[in-house]
Amino acid sequence: MTTRRDFVRKSLLTASGLAMGLPFLNAHTQSDLKITKIRHYRDPDYTKPAFAQMRDIVVVETNGGITGIGEGGSKEMIQNVAEMLIGEDPFRIEHLWQKVNRGYFYPSGRERLHAMGALDMALWDIKGKALNVPVYELLGGLTRDYIPCYSTGFPGQGTVKETAKACMEAGFYAFRTDGGVGSRDVFDVHKWLNNYRRHCEQIREGVGEDGQWCIDLHTRFDTAEAVTVCNMIEPLRPLFVEDLVRSENPGIYETLRAKVNVPIAVGEQFGDRWDINELVEDHLIDFSRVTLPNTGGITEFMKIAAICETHYVGLIPHFTGPISTAALVHALGASSGFVLTEILGNAATKTDYLNDDYLNFKNGKLYPTERPGLGVEFNPANVELINEITKGSEYNHPGFRRADGSFTNW
């Protein structure tokens, strides 16, 4: 009886003389795996559609019985992207990313990138499982022992000072605040300035002289207001100030950089590298907040990580969903430079549709595991199936190839 591991091993060439006979692809050899079906499930735990950051689940099936899991994308966008993957070799991850991203005349928008990110995650999961290694091994191996985390919404301890102190004692790298604004229909920054200052002073006292804290301005300010707030809290030494102004015009950070001295973090509303590369290359930000699946997946995230390393910009991805967080452990674990990621509350999110240990979180830190692929096991029993894609696109994508077979625009 042929097992799925045997199927893959037969489809790969074993390099002569390699210790332990581990399977590797020859430069001119594709795997025999083909994508046969993509299932799309509704995340039952996600209740914030206003964020337009889908947390649905995709499962990519292959003819070898190996499946991969990813997260992100709307029904329409998953359908659009998935149709371009049916029948393809899941091992050719970069090739498929280029095909999907460039297969239409217009470049992919951010909503489509979310869908691409979900499916890209699943392809990395398949490859890791097929080769029986964690995804971080495919990305070059671990560069660190764990991923430090900061907490958003750490459970209240009575006062913000005590809450910040408890966050530090729980082992988190930093405590995050939105400035104590809360949920309100009317926001007048000038009426809130004194509250902002007192709130942040209490946090600094709570985390202590050596502790770290950060603040998210949440794109709610105009330029002059953002400058006022940043200069007001500068003496309190925030680790970073996030999203000072609206994100539609990244070039505004050239103006802001000249007016504020606090470290700047931007990117949670961005997508691929072309959304953020100029901010990084022109040293207009100190930390990139781009995340999964928003960038278009692990494939694109690692390219952004390389740009950031080149320009000494840290990686602080925004939280999205549980599967994306698991994927970030692999991506950040194989990245160089300063990294930090976001945890809601004081523990990893628990969900009925994933294995209990899909994340190895303790003492404010995320630790990589040795499970193959992303290390995520999916239980669809209580999750709504909303779509299945088994056929390729009826539209004949005319993508041109260079003479060497690589993809280019048409």
Residue 375 in tokens: 């290390």
Q: Using H for helix, E for strand and C for coil, what is the string for the chain?
A: CCCHHHHHHHHCECCCCCHHHCCECCCCCCCCCCEEEEEEEECCCCCCHHHCCCCCEEEEEECCCCEEEEECCCHHHHHHHHCCCCCCCCCCHHHHHHHHHHCCCCCCCHHHHHHHHHHHHHHHHHHHHHHCCEHHHHCCCCCCCCEEEEEECCCCECEHHHHHHHHHHCCCCEEEECCCCCCCCCCCHHHHHHHHHHHHHHHHHHHCCCCCEEEECCCCECHHHHHHHHHHHHHHCCCEEECCECCCCCCHHHHHHCCCCCCEEECCCCCCHHHHHHHHHCCCCCEECCCCCCCCCHHHHHHHHHHHHHCCCEECCCCCCHHHHHHHHHHHHCCCCCECEEEECCCCCCCCCECCCCCEEECCEEECCCCCECCCCECHHHCEEEEEECCCCCCCCCCEECCCCCEECC
**Catalytic (active site) residue 95:** no
Q: Which listed residue (95, 218, 311, 397) is catalytic?
A: 218
**Catalytic (active site) residue 218:** yes
Q: Which listed residue (40, 199, 318, 330) is catalytic?
A: 318
Give exposure, 324-357, as e/b (b: 16+ Cβ within 10 Å).
Answer: bbbbbbbbbbbbeeebbbbbeebebbebebbeee
Active-site residue numbers? Answer: 218, 318
